[in-house]
Chains A and B, each alone.
Chain A
């Protein structure tokens, strides 16, 4: 597989929340608005790309028996970095995402990519894989976030888009609404890919 293929597979074939159905906790929890989803996605992308590169660099040094521990230390360090940076420069977003930023450590997409991909492949493919999967995750979260924000609140990125008499379905902003939206999207994607 070429580098381009490693990059683009994250956008459809292995789109994390919808095709691999991984990383559902942030997918369901933070996608109440498009901005939150994209912020969460970009934070995850950063961690994913950095940890993939580092794991790939160290893949011949780390002994097999302690590899999971080593991966987690690497991932956790990058997550704390993201958390501090976000607090320092994007405080309002940090207030919204709150606990879900530290929880990126246990996001199974990241450990999954480190274990299944980066620990076996070279640095460049790993970087491409991390960026592709991460950006795919960002787009998925942004899409789900804008769908919920649009129907549940009548806004997109905070801007009113509907006529004034439009009654938003506030239910979609609640956790059950997240499951309903996710289910509909999964179904639609299955229909499309079965053709």
Chain B
């Protein structure tokens, strides 16, 4: 009996200490991990759609509430502002839309005036060689001429209508969020 008790106590206390230690490490590394994930997954896209900024859009990012999902949890939209001389010159928002094969995640750059500065596909699983052509500059560069009033007035990729629609949906999502929350976004970004 004594033996079992000793085993339980020793193993139990080792587990407790390990758990506490890990909780500590986890809370310390939580923020850097979030920053790194954004930096390595979203930053290339943010840099691709924004130009001429002097701040660090990743560091200056902020979240705004964007309604609720199906399970009733709050959803947040992250905005990456680009500033030059303290002025907001553009901002990047991400949106996602259903493609042929899962969600397509797109980063969209918008100027405060409502012109688009470009889009960049962050993540997709479209068919290589067919749907994946939506990531090519020939398609994405067209958005540089678009505005928030009619963001998807561009030529689609022929043979890849589902993928094109997915990108359009993603762009429309982000643009709608921008239009509906313009005042709030500009106020937050200007801080």
Contacts and interface: CB of A to CB of B under 8 A. Distances in A.
B11 to A, nearest CB: 5
Contacts of A92: 40
Interface stretch (A80-88, A116-124, A162-170): A80-88
Nearest to B31: A88
A1 interface: no
A62 B22 contact: no
B21 A91 contact: no
A77 B33 contact: no
B154 interface: no
Interface string B16-40: 0010011001100100110011011
Contacts of A77: 18, 21-22
Contact of A84 (B10, B25, B37, B40): B25
A4 to B, nearest CB: 31
Contacts of A74: 14, 18
B4 to A, nearest CB: 9
Interface of B: 3, 6-7, 10-11, 14-15, 18, 21-22, 25-26, 29, 32-33, 36-37, 39-40
Interface of A: 58, 61-63, 65-66, 69-70, 73-74, 76-77, 80-81, 84-85, 87-89, 91-92, 95
Given A63-B3, A77-B18, A84-B29, 7 more contacts: A73-B11, A74-B14, A85-B25, A88-B29, A88-B36, A89-B36, A91-B37
20 contacts: A61-B10, A62-B10, A66-B7, A69-B11, A73-B11, A76-B18, A81-B21, A84-B25, A84-B26, A85-B25, A85-B29, A87-B33, A87-B36, A88-B29, A89-B32, A89-B36, A91-B37, A91-B39, A92-B40, A95-B40
